[in-house]
Amino acid sequence: MLTENTSIEAFIDALPKVELHVHLVGSASVPTVLELARRHPDGPVPLDERELRSFYRFRDFPHFAEVYESVSSLVRTPEDVATLVLGTARDLAAQNVRYVELTVTPYTHQRAGMPMPAITEALDRAVREAREAHGVRVAYIFDIPTEFGAEAARRTLDHALTHPPEALVGFGLAGIEQCRPPHRDTYREAFAAARAAGLRSLPHGGEMSGPEMIWENIEGLRAERIGHGISCLDDPRLVAHLRETQIPLEVCPTSNVCTGQVASLAEHPLPRLLEAGLFVTLNSDDPPMFDTTLTGEYRAAAEVFGLDRAALAALARNAVTASSLDAAARQAIIEEIDAL
């Protein structure tokens, strides 16, 4: 049982958590990536652990995207897809994570030659096995990789509408934000169709671009949550809107530092987002690639920004509230958090 003398580290370890912003390929731990690399040795990813860790040192976001694509190229079969999901569930279970909304980019798997029904079958099977083996509930977000433009949007939407996994809850948009403007109308149409099918609008925005991208997410894509969103602070009108509407921001501090969007953790705008009264959740994005975990993000929030137990518990509650869990499941996790 936790007491007032329990360390903040032990409190964070015991805190029930929900992860809302983590990518399937980016969530692959080093052992999982090595397994895939050795399974497909003709790929561009190092087969040695030391070389792989060096491979994960990023110069900037485009370099990160290049490395991410290299790792993604190792995912060639439905079994590879299931391996990633189960590896993620195992790693999250060890951090007391109860539920995860895992972002999948099905277009990259389609390009590798996997048929949509086979991808979906692997995702469905992994959900069942993750719950049975690790006690973690897995849901999926299908996202469009902006680097591949309109074709990726069309094929991602087609997959979401015609062969959706049972646990598909959301539709997203990720990748290099500067690639979006030429395909703005295509993305708007795709998101409108996804919303009409009952999927939540959960795009990235405001990570490597300014507030205008967040506005487009809100006004053009009808976003229910914003992936990252940290550049909102550059626009007082946007901050006021986010404060009034309480649209959740999926904030990923270590990721922002590793991809060069923020100079250091100490300079991360997380404290200012909280001071502005915005709805913030903590997330890990691509944890092994950034040498972090969801637990590590909570520890950084305590150590670097001085957040106390109450503030950390509030962030954990926010993630539950912003999730796609049903009301009863949300309440059960919130009661666990409150019990601490």
Q: Which of 19, 207, 216, 250 is catalytic?
A: 207
Joined together, the tokens standing for residue 21 give 């912003």
Identity of residue 205: G
| C-alpha to C-alpha distance for 226 and 262, rounded to whole angstroms | 18
| C-alpha to C-alpha distance for 75 and 32, rounded to whole angstroms | 11
**Exposure of 265 by Cβ count < 10 A (0-12 exposed, 13-18 middle, 19+ buried)?**
middle
CB atoms inside a 10 Å sphere around CB 32: 21
SS3 string of the chain?
Answer: CCCCCCCHHHHHHHCCEEEEEEECCCCCCHHHHHHHHHHCCCCCCCCCHHHHHHHCCCCCHHHHHHHHHHHHCCCCCHHHHHHHHHHHHHHHHCCCEEEEEEEECHHHHHHCCCCHHHHHHHHHHHHHHHHHHHCCEEEEEEEEEHHHHHHHHHHHHHHHHHCCCCCEEEEEEECCHHHCHHHHHHHHHHHHHHHHCCCEECCEECCCCCHHHHHHHHHCCCCCCEEECHHHHHCHHHHHHHHHHCCCEEECHHHHHHCCCCCCHHHCCHHHHHHCCCCEEECCECHHHHCCCHHHHHHHHHHCCCCCHHHHHHHHHHHHHHCCCCHHHHHHHHHHHHHC
Q: Is 207 a catalytic residue?
A: yes
Q: Which active-site residues does the annotation give?
A: 207
